[in-house]
Structure 1
Amino acid sequence: MTTTSERQMLPRPVRAGTSLLMLGGSIAMVAMMLHICADVLSRRFLGTPIVGTLEYVTYLYMVAVVFLPLGRVQEERGHVIVEVVSQLMPARVNLWVDRGAQLFTLAYVTFIAWWGWMETVRSFTRNEVVTVIQTDFPLWPTRLLVPLGLAAMSFVIVVQLAQSFRSGSQPPHSDPAAH
């Protein structure tokens, strides 16, 4: 896990944006937990489930929990890093391997963000909905969370790469022992 001083290496607006998205993901997690607990209690004590729990968890909560925090995870360099071979390489080689991995990740994540945006637009133009309690719940707002979270991750990668090339040093990795 990175320290506060390592997080502060990124510009303040970037940190504020990732913090806001992380807060959104955290709120979705708490809301999902409360919704599921209420559904379980309703089944147990009232003998009837809360209608729409599965739909809300699937189409709203889980999407927010998975995609909104991606920028913060990248900011903290919290994604899985396999260092079996890199431990044997010199620091200069590791620097370029890390940059190459970040460039590949940037291309991949940016493509998926673009694809997610296209799916959001398609969902909006088709007025895609899921019916919950005889009410049509539009899907495009939740589909928008996918490209939003991935765009935040892409932006953080761009900032990290720019800092890496500007300073000529490798950004700090998270300490595996701290997790």
Structure 2
Amino acid sequence: MKTPTRPLSWASAYVTLVGRGSGALNVLSGLALAAMMILVALDVTLRNTMGTALTGSVEYTSQWMMPLIVLFALAYTEKSGEHIRVTIVEDGLRGKSQLILALFGQICTFALALVLAVTSWGVAADSIAIGETVPMGTGALIIWPIKALIVLAWIWFAAQAFANVLLRLLPSISTAERDSLPGTRLEKVESDGIS
């Protein structure tokens, strides 16, 4: 009797771990978005009712919340295959050619994310070394911790891109995870007779 083939345990564990981390970062992104909405609403309310602005609302929004909202959501967007793609070439291919092109794109995404992580690490290290701040009213807002979190976001995005490479290369990992990848949903729709 043949033993059913199982996925490589490390690859499956890696994909699961990174996917959960991407989901957690997405939740933090959503919380930052909610905090930004509350801060802006409070600032606008104070401006219109009391004639005064909330000190630091622009600085917190632009220096802290916007980077967290955008960059923390990137990995989850990559995981769920919801990023913007131009598929004019890929749509004209079928089978192995389509897989190879999709894999090439995924590897390029992984490489670019690594380059951005390394580059942002240099910026973050400089920022940490000088204790970077921006003027805020009569005080200063510390921004070096956010620059360190930006590095984390790029590293996690790279990790998620690599997880997607594994999903494309190792078909036995997980059907549910694989169905969230871009090229696979297209094939599923076409096989159902919808185009």
TM-score after normalising by structure 2: 0.79
Using the alignment, how far apart are the partners of 1:84 and 1:9 within structure 2? 34
Using the alignment, how far apart are the partners of 2:13 and 2:168 within structure 1? 11
The Cα shift of 1:59 comes to 0.2
Q: Which of 182, 185, 189 is the aligned partner of 1:173?
A: 182
Using the alignment, how far apart are the partners of 1:139 and 1:92 within structure 2? 47
One-letter amino acid of the structure 1 residue matched with residue 99 of structure 2: L
Q: Deviation per CA, 1:109-164, whole angstroms, max 9, x where unpaired?
A: 11011111111110010111113233332211111222211111110111121232
> 1:20 corresponds to which residue?
24
The number of residues matched between the two structures is 170
> 2:124 corresponds to which residue?
120
One-letter amino acid of the structure 2 residue matched with residue 173 of structure 1: P
One-letter amino acid of the structure 2 residue matched with residue 135 of structure 1: G
The Cα shift of 1:168 comes to 8.5
Using the alignment, how far apart are the partners of 1:114 and 1:167 within structure 2? 31
138-147 or 121-130, larger mean C-alpha shift: 138-147
Asked which structure has the greater CA Rg, the reply is 2
Q: Which of 111, 115, 124 is the aligned partner of 2:115?
A: 111
Which blocks of at least 5 consecutive residues in structure 2 are unaligned? 1-11, 187-195
- What is the aligned-residue RMSD (CA, Å)? 2.5
Matches within 5 A, 1:6-155: 11-155=15-159
90-99 or 10-19, larger mean C-alpha shift: 10-19
The Cα shift of 1:166 comes to 2.1
The Cα shift of 1:15 comes to 2.3
SS at match of 1:85: helix
CA contact (8 A) 2:63 2:143 kept: yes
The Cα shift of 1:73 comes to 0.6
CA contact (8 A) 1:25 1:69 kept: yes
TM-score after normalising by structure 1: 0.86
The share of aligned pairs that are identical, in percent, is: 20
